[in-house]
Chains A and B, each alone.
Chain A
Amino acid sequence: MLRLVLITKGGIKIKYLLVGKDSLLATMIVAHGLMGFDEVAADKDFVDKSHQQSGSIISVGKDSIGNEIFCAIHQYPGIVVRINEEIKMLKESPVSELRTIPVLTDLGGVPFLIALSRLPGIGAWFDNWARSSVLSRKQQLIEKGQVLRVMNEPGMEPQGRPAAAKPQI
């Protein structure tokens, strides 16, 4: 608790980028679990289809202590983690404001349905099917986010090690 207060008083806020493999909707539900929600009012229109296909980063919101949460999709989330580290190393101030978290979820046949949703004409039908399948796993996805929240608790390194405390002046 003390550690948490010190971090928020210092104004250090972390940006979390959750990178899902297949479904942006699923990743956003996980993000709500990470933000501390026990439930999320997600429906089929929770994420626009164009966002799923654009590959851009979506802002989800802030958690209770002001950390910002973002979501994105990449077929290989580990590559995004590596790119983030590369950007961190090459930029002028190497302090990282962004922590990337791969979100690996078992979504059954959803990836296949998402692939079919790109088909012209009948794609919308497969898109709806994919969304319904994701929503049927909503609780499981929120719990996944809550586990990630514990693993990435402020003041903890990504591997789960406590951060070294700086002496107070």
Chain B
Amino acid sequence: MKNFVYFDYGGSHTSVIAAGIHAGLLDPHNPPDDKALSQFPYFDETTPDDFGKMKHLGTHPEGHRIYCLGTKSSTTGPLLEGMAELQNAAGQFIFCDTMPYVNTTLRIGGWLSRGIGLSVLGRPLVYRGIRKEYGKIADFVKACAHHQGGNKN
């Protein structure tokens, strides 16, 4: 049993969607519509207190626990892996960086919605940005799960 941690800067968009796909809460082949995204747990809901907290999205049928994480940094992968190693837990954690899937639309939408609290303006952009990258995120989740030994359904 492993802990899969999908992480990005804010921990509320690409990491949540990737974790949702891996946990089987989202169909990897069909991007969710606006309503489904707005109701999805933790999606576009980060508060400053959430940074650094691993939020549990679900458990894979094989027992792997799936989390999302906001690190407030764009280069945290080596640090996270190093910390797990220093805690003698490197084999128990798989850290997957979803920052490469944060496109410009998502950046602007995320900043408007979570950064300055204008979710009315930001959310439509966030939805559009996520749908644009959805296929790539689904492929990444598949690759992450398979390469790291956690078979995805």
Q: How far is the CA of A91 from the CA of B1 in the complex (A)?
A: 11
A53 to B83, CA, bound (A): 17
Q: Which residues of A contact B78 (CB under 8 A)?
A: 54-57
Q: Is the C-beta of A72 less than 8 angstroms from some C-beta in chain B?
A: yes
The answer to whether B72 touches A55, judged by C-beta atoms less than 8 angstroms apart, is no
In the complex, which residues of chain B have a beta carbon less than 8 angstroms from the beta carbon of A98?
83, 86-87
**Separation of A78 and B51 alpha carbons in the complex (Å):** 9
A57 x B76 contact (CB < 8 A): no
Query: Which A residues lie within 8 Å of B93 (CB)?
Result: 87, 90-91
Cα separation A98 to B88 with both chains bound (whole Å)? 9
Overall SS of chain A's interface: mixed
B63 CB to nearest chain A CB (Å): 13
Check A56/B87 contact, CB under 8 A, given A74-B76, A83-B52: no
Residue numbers in A under 8 Å from B67 (CB-CB)? 90
Does the CB pair A76–B51 fall under 8 Å?
yes
Check A57–B73 contact: CB distance below 8 A.
no
Interface membership of chain B positions 50-82, coded 1 if the CB is closer than 8 angstroms to chain A and 0 otherwise: 011110000000000101010111011111101
B87–A80 touching, CB < 8 Å = no
Q: Please tell me if A17 contacts chain B, counting CB pairs below 8 Å.
A: yes
Contacts of A133 in B (CB 8 A): none
B-side interface residues toward A, CB under 8 Å? Answer: 3, 51-54, 65, 67, 69, 71-73, 75-80, 82-84, 86-89, 92-93
